[in-house]
Amino acid sequence: MVQKSDTIWFDGKQVPWDEANVHVLTHTLHYGAGVFEGIRAYECADGTSEVFRLEDHMVRLINSAKILGLKVPYTAEDLTEAAVETLKVNKLPGAYIRPLIFVGAGAMGVHPGQNPIQVIIATWPWGAYLGEDALEKGIRVKCSTFSRHHVNVMMTKSKACGNYVNSVLAKTEAVADGYDEAILLDTTGHVSEGSGENIFMVVNDVIYTPHADGVLGGLTRDSMIALAGDLGYEVREEPITRDMLYCADEVFFTGTAAELTPIREIDRRVIGEGKAGPVAQLMQSEFFRIVKGENPDYEHWLHRYSL
């Protein structure tokens, strides 16, 4: 359950959490033409706080809206300031941040007409998305019976609300079958991504990940590719098949919510030694040093704030 904060930023104002409501005929509620981001704030070792790649997330949010043809009444800079303001108002040294741009109530039917474009930013405390044990022990996943969207069907570069029906179906199926998460294949049968994460595999100390063409360009994915290079690993973006995953030394998910979560089993096949491998452990450790402000080489990824 989401832990309530005091307020939500709603169209330029701080609104009490329980009063941040919309009409049941809100267009995006019916047709899914909205966009959102998932962003994390972390409490740093020195007592300050930071939001990880905040400006980049807000730029992606605006670009997602552009792809859907939504004319947003705020800039990425406006939303960056609003996110920090909301964290401070809610006195959150660490948090999950959810901006959402959506089409409000007015005309009904597929075409939104002149319906208003509305924006909210909610913040709340949040721990490990897949559970604290998952970060160390890894998770069990299955390859979903649902395929990831084709690039010309749902505009895969937009983090659009409606796109995530695909993720809901895959995740629900996986959980019902006793797994923690799903891996979706693309329409050619190649590995694409998780229901809300990007995927990597390790073979002989080389890190592989599907090319960004057909997946959402995750900012944590981008960060991990850069980090891996700095740690001396070769990273290759190329097609991956499910049987390649079965035979990999390590497989792991990355994402704002998932951070870096190892995968210990896929489709009842044990991956590697059935736990977090050495590459995942090192990258996970270095990632957490970065987000806690302990590595000055990556300070440019951190938006600092103090309560």
* Active site amino acids: 159
Amino acid identity of residue 18, one-letter, is D
SS3 303: strand
Q: How far apart are the first and last CA of the chain?
A: 25
**CA atoms of 247 and 263, how far apart (whole Å):** 13
Angle (CA) 193 37 45, round 5° = 95
Which tokens hold the place of 153? 């069907």
Q: In this structure, which long-range contacts are made by residues 243-248, counting pairs with CB atoms below 8 Å and at least 24 apart in sequence?
A: 244/191, 244/201, 244/203, 244/208, 245/183, 245/191, 245/201, 245/271, 246/271, 247/203, 248/201, 248/202, 248/203, 248/272
Which tokens hold the place of 159? 């983090």
DSSP type of residue 305: E
Angle between the N-to-C axes of helices 278-291 and 219-230, in degrees from 0 to 180, rounded to the nearest 10? 110
DSSP output for 180-226: SEEEEE-TTS-EEEESS-EEEEEETTEEEE--GGGS---HHHHHHHH
Percentages helix, strand, coil for the chain, rounded to the nearest 5?
30, 30, 40
**CA atoms of 253 and 184, how far apart (whole Å):** 12
**CA atoms of 77 and 100, how far apart (whole Å):** 15
